[in-house]
Structures are given as C-alpha cells and as structure tokens.
Amino acid sequence: MPEAGGQAVNRKALAALIVVLLVIISPLAFLYLTNEGNEGDAVFSLSVEGDPESEVDITMNDLLSMESIEAFSSYQNFFGNWRGHGIYRGVNVSDLVDLIGGISEGDNVTVYATDGYNQTYCWRNVMNEWSDPSIQGNMVLAYEFNGTRIPEWEEGPMIIFMPDDGEYSNQDCLNTSCEGQGGHVYLSAGSRWVRNAENLVLTKGDQVFTFAVMGDSQGNNLVLDAVVEEMNNRSIEFVLHLGDTVPRATEGLLDTFVSHVEGLEADLHVTPGNHDVMANDTIFYDYFETGDYYFDRGDCRFISIDSSSQNITQDQFTWLRQLLDQSTDMRAIIFSHVPSYDPREGEDHHLDDPNDCQEFQSIVDEYDVEIVLNGHVHMFNHTFRNGTDYFISGGAGGNLYVPLDDGGFYHFLVFTVTPTSINWEVVEVEPVQPESLTILISGPDGSVTVNLSDLLAMTPVEGYSSYENNFGNWRDKGNYTGVLIADLIELVGGMNVNDTLRVKSIDGYYQDFCYGNVYPNSTWLSIQGPFILAYSFEGEMPPEWDEGFRTAFLPEDEGYSNEDCLATSCKGQGGNVYLSAGARFVKYVAYIEVLCYS
C-alpha cells in the first residue's frame, strides 16, 4: 500500500511540473515564433529620388547578415542636456546606401521616421568625410540598444552617430553639418538622431543646389565685404540681392558697389530698390539687366517684381498671374524689394498702397507660392502665412531698424534646395573695423594723415545736435565734440568758392559739400551751425564710439532737419539729391578731399 501511495504522489508531482514548464515555455515559444516571423519582414527601405524602381526593402535578417558596429554613444539636446547614453549596435549607413548604387560627393540622403519627422544629411555625414573624423564617427542605423533589439527596443531603428569620445555635442553637430542642414538650421545634436527610422531617400547632387540672399547694402561696404567673404566660404550657386544696393543712384556709388561684389564667386541677380532709383531713375537699369524678370533652376522659378516705386502696378500683377499660370508644375519663389507687410507693430514700411499689399498676398495664396523674399525693412524676419514662407532680409549694410533680439543684426540667408524640401539658414556677419583710426586729408597743397591725438590737439568745438532722416524721424540726439572741417582742410591749402569737399567713409560711402557748408555765411550759419568732424559723442571716443569719426552740423536749435538740409545744400548735392539730413552725418570718416575746380 505505501508503494501505491508513493506512485500517486509521483504522478501529482509530474503533473505539476508539466504545468510549470508549459507556463514558462509557452511565452518564450510565442516570442521566438513572433521574432522569427518579424526578422523576415521589412524594417527599413532605401530608394533613389525620382527612381521608383530603385526601392529596396531591408529586413531584420538582412541587417543581421551585414557587418555590424557597436559602440557607446550619447547626444546633447537643444538645452545642453545629455541624453541617449548607452551601447548601440547597427550597420553603417554607407553600407546600406551601397545597396542602391552608393553615394557620391554632392549627394544627400534624407531619413524619414514613421511619424513623418525627417533629417537630411550630406555625403560627408554618410562617409564621415570630415577633416577630423573622430568628431562625428560612423553614421549608423542602430537596431539594438543596451542589448535590446527591435521591436522590443521601441525607439529603433534609429539613425545615430558614434564619435570617438562617445558624446555627440551641439558643437560637434555644427562642425559636422553641411550648409543648410543640421546644426546650421537648428542647433541640437539630438535632432540628428532619427527615432523609428522608416526609410532613406538618396538625392543625387545635380538635383540639389544652394543660393544666398542679401538686401539693403546701401553703400555700407564694410558689411558688404563681410557678406561677400562669408558667401565665398560656402558652396553657393547664385545670389539674390533684394535691392537698395546703394544709398542713391549715382555713377560713383554704383561703380563702388560693383567693385565690391565683383569678388563674389557666384552669379548675382538683382531686383531694384527705392534707393536704387533715387536721384536718377534710369542709371541703375544701365548697370543691371533687372526689373520684372524670371529665371529657372531645376523645378524652381525665381520671379523678380520691380517695386522700386514702392508700388506694384496692375500691369505687373497681370504679368505675375500669367507667369504663375505657366508655372503650376514648378516651385515659385518671388523676390522683390518692398514687402507686403511690416513685421514691426504699428509700422508701415511696406507697399504704399494697402490694396497692393492685399492683392499681392492674394496672388501668393492662390498660386501656392513657395517663398517670398523682401528687403526694405532693415532687419531679419521670417513669417509663415497660409503655407508660404515670407522672409525679410534687409541686413547687408543699411542702418538697422530694430534691436538685436528682434532681428536687428547684419546677415544674409542661405537656402538649400532638394527635390522634396527647401531648408534655410540665417548667417550673421560682423564687419571688419579699420585697424587704425586715421583720416587722410587731401587738398591743393598735398595730403596729411591725422589721428585722434592730432584732433585732440586742435581747437575743439562742442554742441548738442540731432538730425532728421528721410522718414521724418529724429536720430542720434546728443553732445558732439570735434574740430571745424575748415580747420582741417586749412592743413592742406583750404578750398576756393567753386571747389567741392568730398567726405568719404571707410566703407566707400561719401557726401559732397560746397564752400558754403565749410565757410558758411551768417544765413547758412544760423541754419546749419558749425560744420565739424566729431571725434566724441556723449563723451565716448573711437573705438568705443563705433560710428566715429563722423561729420556733424551743430545748428542753434539743436536739430538739423530735412528742410535745413535742403536750405544748406548746393546744386547737385545733399538735399537736392536725396532729402535726408541724416545722410549728411557721415559715419566712419576716413578721407576728406578738396576737389579743385577753380
């Protein structure tokens, strides 16, 4: 009987053991079968832009059969915090791209996530072709993180970088981003790590191009030179200038502008601004074949609208509509000087007629215009309206209208165009200031160079002053100290009644003055006051006073108005050419020359 009882106990134990094993094995078997099936399903795809026959589906089995790479890595986010620390395993993106023909210099790849998020990378990223390859490391499609493989690793597949130090910082991101991509668009290394990557599209280099945009240089050649130099450091195919190349249309100023942009290593396309036709409404068109015109690059149509009159005529609107009717299969980019809106609250620095503003925006909406580019307002602004990107880029030299935080900085724009996207970047520039603060004075008796110490040794003249600009606003109110212009030119023989005095800034801007300005009679003296070269403003001297040396008038009423300017300008000069008292206050003075006509 005990033996029978023992057998009964053994059977119960065996049954319990079987139940336990079933509980443990069944989920494992399910996972095994599930994973086995998934490894044969596509987890990623590759294709060449414009070639549907090139598409290749990649399964987990495909990835596992390729040479793998494993390393610790992490990234820095926009706020400077470190994220994603861990050991990643995956395959080189370069090996994947080889499956669709490989990548060449100038090509790009765009990786899309399941939610539509995407990032574009240049061939240098894919091949890690940087001067210091340790910064970025391999570009990898990771399928495993800390030993967990997809699909259990829910953020994979993921595009990552594997720098030698295991930390892909924001600075690393900037240093390993091609123009118009990555850190140049949004400075976050983490944004380059694409989670749940779904497919990669290769875009061949002949389908990608880069262009730059600047506006309102207005004769400030210090800034213009900085813009040209920085543009030449980039692979830019052509440049759009949004108008106001010069402060007013004279042969001398236009020649100077041309001499400074001749160094551009890219084609230049110009649309006229209101300053380009001031004083002479035809000479600008002799220098540039411009006005209403268009040109094509790839599937993009670039359309110039001449708004130099600060209006757009009905004939121009008709021409624009007809052109857009013919461009329905192209991406339209309109560039014109005067915008249809002013981004500053309460300001109206836009097309003079509000109806023109409304009609222009209606046309843009109707035809789904991709981008509108304007200048005129001296600042940077980007506004997205009804599916169109509007840009104001008036920062290539003209006096800035707003504080730095509101877009008041010198800059230009860079656009990178692919068949599926147009990425943009704002590039700030800093003009190079002259190394030595000296002034060359030339006259009938020769030339002399003076510096701040020389000026301080001369008889000072002091007074409170301000000036009115062409918009009727008063600017630069304060105490000026300097020396009489008359005392300076006496060092080189003075001037006669028929001579002209030319004052020129370091950037090439200049103003001409007559004998009456330098040696004013009682009538002119009562209006303009003493004419000085100021070396101090509100107690600051150069280089701390970054606009000095500067010419200034010191009228008795402490305000040099546009009416005063007109009343104290000789024929062909000053207010008779361009009615702005502020234009007579020349900044960054470097040359004073007596032009002898006696």
- Contact assessment for residue 173 and residue 183, using Cβ atoms and an 8 Å cutoff: yes
- Kindly give, in sequence order, each residue whose CB lies less than 8 Å from that of residue 468, ignoring residues fewer than 6 positions away: 474, 475, 559, 560, 561, 562, 565, 580, 581, 582
CA-CA distance, 532 to 554, in Å (whole number)? 8
**Among the residues of 427-548, which ranges form H helices?**
452-456, 485-489, 515-518, 522-528
Q: What is the pTM of this model?
A: 0.57
Q: What is the pLDDT along the chain (598 residues), one digit of tens a residue?
A: 343 444 444 555 555 555 445 544 444 443 344 444 456 788 999 999 878 889 999 999 999 999 999 999 999 999 999 999 999 999 999 999 999 999 988 889 999 999 999 999 999 999 999 999 999 999 999 999 999 999 999 999 999 999 999 999 999 999 999 988 999 888 999 999 999 999 999 988 767 889 999 999 987 777 899 999 999 998 899 999 999 998 778 787 788 899 889 999 999 999 999 989 987 889 999 999 889 999 999 889 999 999 999 999 999 999 999 999 999 989 999 999 999 999 999 899 999 999 999 999 999 999 999 999 999 999 999 999 999 999 999 999 887 889 999 999 999 999 999 888 899 999 999 877 655 578 988 888 777 888 898 899 899 999 999 999 988 999 999 999 999 999 999 988 899 999 999 999 887 889 999 999 999 999 999 999 999 999 999 888 988 898 989 999 999 999 999 999 999 999 999 999 888 999 999 999 999 999 875 5
Sign of the alpha-carbon torsion through 347, 353, 357, 362: positive
H or E stretch including 230?
Answer: helix 221-232
First-last CA distance in the chain: 145
Instruction: Provide the H-helix boundaries in 132-169.
Output: none
What domains lie within the chain, and their CATH numbers? 42-205 (3.90.420.10), 208-428 (3.60.21.10), 438-595 (3.90.420.10)
